[in-house]
Amino acid sequence: MSIDEAKRLAGIAACDEVKSGMKLGLGTGSTVHHTVVELARRYHEEGLDVVGVPTSIATHDLATELGLPLVELDDVDALDVVIDGADEVDQAFQLIKGGGAALLREKLVAQASGAMVVVADDRKMVDTLGAFPLPIEITPFGGGTTQRAIASLLGCDASLRMDGDQPLVTDNGNHIIDAHTGPTLTDPAATEAALLALAGVVQVGLFIGMCDVVHLAGASGAERLVRPGGRLA
């Protein structure tokens, strides 16, 4: 089975976590794309009664195109489940996210959700986080100062993410620093806290204690992994 087909199956399998009447967080990424497409199909063909809060403009546009009903995060008291992707997942279900530059909205939606379901391919499973560069959203004002502070704090190269010859601008009007720590983040909660203490840092692409289930795509298909003691255990 190709990895693309496995990702499609994992994205579809994650829809089984959804029940009629739910308010959903709709994540961002290539695997979650299949989830949104399947949710829209079930909405139109099977009468699945759901509304979604998208975590990015791209997901908003996809869901709108497919006719999946959407609401604003501020218009709901809470979300039942968020389904999202990840750039890395470790054995403790801790995540690195932000490869798609949507980490701030993704974390806002995840924190407002009763449970978090991640869809990813098995190349994203790691023993220690950090091989994927850690995305950190920062304010454009004083960006160079914040970039240097991040590099000094983490003791690694910290690069400004570019979009062509200009800094990439997030959906929130901010910039992204990618910290090339390597697989060294053995205490991601402490790393997150230290980075958030820097005034120019808006949010960090570390998701700690949020992920409850991973639908993992591999050569043999999709596998459902459950965090012990998690909200969907």
Which positions are catalytic? 106
Cα distance between residue 70 and residue 55, in whole Å: 11
Task: Identify whether the C-beta of residue 111 lies closer than 8 Å to the C-beta of residue 82.
Answer: no
What does the block give as tokens for 164? 């062509």
Give the type of residue at 162: M
For 211, phi then psi, to 5°, come to -80, 130
C-alpha 95/C-alpha 124 separation (Å) is 10
Give the DSSP H or E segment for 90. none
- Cα dihedral: 57, 13, 123, 26 (round 10): 20
Locate 61 and state its tokens: 């546009």
